[in-house]
Structures are given as C-alpha cells and as structure tokens.
Chain A
Amino acid sequence: RKEVEQDPGPFNVPEGATVAFNCTYSNSASQSFFWYRQDCRKEPKLLMSVYSSGNEDGRFTAQLNRASQYISLLIRDSKLSDSATYLCVVNPTSGTYKYIFGTGTRLKVLA
C-alpha cells in the first residue's frame, strides 16, 4: 500500500459544480496534512493545511478523518481557474518536516 494515495482523475466538471477529492494515508501516526495546488509546469503552492476540526477557506473546505485515515478537499462553485492538479501531502513523522506527496488529482473545470 502506498503511503499516500489519491485518485489521479482527471475530474472534468462544469463551472459552478461542487467537486470533492479524497486522499488516504497509511501511517496512523501522521501528524500534519496539507493540500497543495500545482499548475502545469509550476511549483506546488500551499492551498491549505488540514486540521483535525476541519477548516474552510472561501470555497475550499478540508477535512481530516483520523479513524479512517483520509483527508478530503471540497471545492464549491468551481471556477475555470481552479483547473490544476491537487496534491495531498502528509507529514508522517512528528517533529520532522518530511513530506510524503500523493501523485495528485487532476481537475479540469469546463466552461
């Protein structure tokens, strides 16, 4: 089993749709979780950290389910500019900065 697994997609959704991505992780001791966005031929950019209580930033909501070892990202009212690859990132070891990246979920928002 991979340490971090994501559905690679692509997810093709119309503008205005709501879309959700899940990501599972194998190490139950993992402490920190993040969603990054990566545009084609660009570096990953931090979208949001994922907290145990869940967190929301505008149209984006991230949630963590420790019991089932997955995190999710919900995007509401999709925009064309949301088209990108979304990377799930897990820091499996407390006190370190070692990131484990998922392979990414590709989203394409269609006009």
Chain B
Amino acid sequence: SAVISQKPSRDICQRGTSLTIQCQVDSQVTMMFWYRQQPGQSLTLIATANQGSEATYESGFVIDKFPISRPNLTFSTLTVSNMSPEDSSIYLCSVVGDGHSYEQYFGPGTRLTVT
C-alpha cells in the first residue's frame, strides 16, 4: 500500500481563519479522498479529488468552505475556510489501493481544534 503523509499533524486555530492541510503520497494515484472525523464520530467523506478535474463534494460540503487542490498525482490540499469551533475534527486523506479491490488507505490525519 502507498505511504501517505499529512501536514500539519495538528493545529489550534482561531475562528474566522483558514487552514490548509497537505496530503503527500509516495506513488502516483488517480483518486484521493478527504474525510472528516468529528469527536466521537465515524468518518464522513468530504470530497473526491481527481487530478485534472474539479473535486466532487458530498452532500453537506461545499467548495467555498472546503476548497481542494490536486495539482498532480501525488499531492492534494484541503483548506478549511472561515473556521468555527464546529470544524474541530480530524481530517484524513485517503487513496485507493493498487488493482481493482476498492480498498482505501488513510493518511495519519490532521487534528484541528478551532477556538
């Protein structure tokens, strides 16, 4: 499976500011995903990020709030804009494994606290 890193690993931010999270993969991957895991909850898909096209957002998530970039096949960023305390979560990127198994592998996550 691919090796995935995320930066920052954690941050504490003030409301109204924005934070950009980076996801780096050690191999080229077509599809990358961004998830959110709120405290005590399971993971929720925010959007799918494909290189060369606009990200596809899930219901309840919009580009203005969570703009995503995917400049190449090994890198993506997720920005959490105009943050509020409700955005305090762990944000994880994931990639699909090799082959056709639909298995996904996750980065270590970015723990965001908004004060």
Give the distance to chain A from B112, nearest Cβ to Cβ, in Å: 13
Q: A97-B31, A97-B33, A97-B96 are in contact. Are A45 and B42 (CB under 8 A)?
A: no
Is B104's CB under 8 angstroms from A101's CB?
A: no
* Cross-interface CB contact of A97 among B92, B104, B107, B109, cutoff 8 Å: B104
Query: Bound state CA distance, A49 and B96, in angstroms?
Result: 13
Q: Does A59 contact B (CB under 8 A)?
A: no
Give the distance to chain B from A27, nearest Cβ to Cβ, in Å: 15
Is B102's CB under 8 angstroms from A101's CB?
A: no
Q: Does B53 contact A (CB under 8 A)?
A: no
Q: With a 10 A CB-CB cut-off, give which of A43, A87, A98 has the most chain B CB atoms.
A: A43
> Helix, strand, loop or mixed for chain B's interface?
strand
Query: Bound state CA distance, A42 and B111, in angstroms?
Result: 10
Q: Does A34 contact B (CB under 8 A)?
A: yes
> Helix, strand, loop or mixed for chain A's interface?
loop
Is A101's CB under 8 angstroms from B43's CB?
A: yes
Is A87's CB under 8 angstroms from B42's CB?
A: yes
* Cross-interface CB contact of A99 among B43, B107, B109, B111, cutoff 8 Å: B43
Is B41's CB under 8 angstroms from A103's CB?
A: yes
Query: Which residues does chain B contribute within 8 Å of A99, judged by CB atoms?
Result: 33, 43, 45, 104
User: Which A residues contact B (CB, under 8 angstroms)?
Assistant: 31-32, 34, 41-46, 49, 87, 91, 97-99, 101-104
User: Which B residues contact A (CB, under 8 angstroms)?
Assistant: 1, 31, 33, 41-45, 48, 58, 92, 96, 101-109, 111
Q: A46-B104, A97-B33 are in contact. List 7 more A-B contacts (CB 8 A).
A: A43-B108, A43-B109, A91-B102, A97-B96, A98-B58, A102-B42, A103-B42
